[in-house]
Structure 1
Amino acid sequence: YDAELNSARERKVAIENDIREGLLRDEFDVWYQPIVDARSQEMVGVEALVRWPRRPAGALPPDAFITIAETSGLIHALGQFVLRRACRDLQPLSDLKLSVNISPAQFRDPDFENKVADVLRDSHFPAHRLQLEITETYVLENPERSLSAIGNLKALGTAIALDDFGTGYSSIGYLRRFNFDTIKIDKSLAGLVDHDEQAAALVGGTIRIASALGMTVVAEGIENEKQMKLLSLAGCDRLQGFFFSAPMPIDALRQHRQRRQG
């Protein structure tokens, strides 16, 4: 047991060091997953997702390094890298909105709003095209900081999305209080609508509440045509998932966009 614990600790330290070195050696990339309009099926935006393809010891999936980056404090540098790269990549694609996940550690940083403003200025990326995604767990645990940060970020012109809705302590009260622009229904709920009546009813109720509050609804994790049709009929505004496209590098995204426009 002790040997296993020691091995896990050594692996964590090794990955921490790899992240630190990887940021210096440009080993990370940002890939993009399309977000489509539920009615027209046209691509209207993308979600930026970090990838680590050039790690000398072999590529690691995000699940294997994001948590370590958060606990070590390296998520600040990694998050800034993702935001800068994504704004740079998407700046010329003026018809697309950009969604970027923000970790709780970044959101806790009292200087975070200024860092976002710096990236927008340096990349010449219009604030109204940027949406920052945060999880409800952090918002509920830190309501005062969250209210302040959301207000400051909205003052910059950016939109705020509540990510992974349906996985935690979702309530109408805090949806109203925090005034999100968008809620993203998690794939663990949205992905059940084609075979689980209870999940379908919960999704339908969520969409009606969000619509009443003037929020855009995005359903994640769409994997088949039946899910796509059910969620569209239920009133989702945007859809995202492997049914439409896997995440892809920026060059592939440009080609994908040209094919759809062509």
Structure 2
Amino acid sequence: MEKSQQNAHTYKSLKIERKDPTSGVFYLYLNRPLQRNALSSDFFTEFPHALSSLDQNPDAAVIILSGSGDHFCAGIDVKVFSTLTNLSSSYPDTARASEYLRRHVKFLQDAVTAIERCRKPVIAAVRGACIGGGVDIITACDIRVCAKDAFFSVKEVDLGIVADMGSLQRLPGIVGYGNAVELALSGRRFSAQEAKELGLVSRVFGSKEELEEGVSILAEGIAAKSPIAVTGTKAVLLRTRDLNVDQGLDHVATWNSAMLLSADLKEAVAAQMQNRKPKFAKL
């Protein structure tokens, strides 16, 4: 297994691997397995950095996001909440404490939104627990798959807080408003099969091994496609998510007016005519 150049930067909460030196698929792991990959303070600084480094790496075409060990993510580490409480109490008045908290929440949100800023597709591969902040993370991913042992919970209401890193904004568009309300207000645990029925994940695999093989096949298939088309498709889907159909069509017309006439289009057409696999330049 090759250690990626991206791993030249040492992370406390993450790990990056490139399992095949000829592949465009890179693996980004939440890497605190003894804490069920609970999100530490380090994560919120390191995660955007790692995604940015992969985004800028021309060898990286697709990112698989997973958790080390038996779980994806148990949510935010309680130590983060303790730190916030202690810091807030050090301010001389409520207004200043509130202003600090708002800035810090925006900082936490930005770490998750970094998934959407990354041009390369991010596929969440979930095993075990995906709780609270874990749900925030996967709802920002482009594709979500899981093993049958996965379970999920929008848990924040049970901690006496409002989910604030994206679940309440992204989940309704994925599972429907009514389902999102029920999950967020109850905080209940739901299974991999229910996640599939709700549309939160697109596929459920029977075991860890099947998940690893299945998500690898999916990622390799995407990585073999035109990077201009793949990154453009992600960008247009995100940009037009909150637009009406006419606005979305106008946006993609503008996008393609700039990006349609690429070397990738010529190569894709030639490959089809010659009955061979296309070979695209890196992005």
Fold shared by both chains (TM-score > 0.5) = no
- Indicate the structure (1 or 2) with the bigger Cα radius of gyration: 2
Greater percentage in strand: 1
TM-score with structure 1 length normalisation? 0.29
Q: TM-score, normalised by structure 2?
A: 0.28
Higher RCO, Cα 8 Å, sep 6+: 1
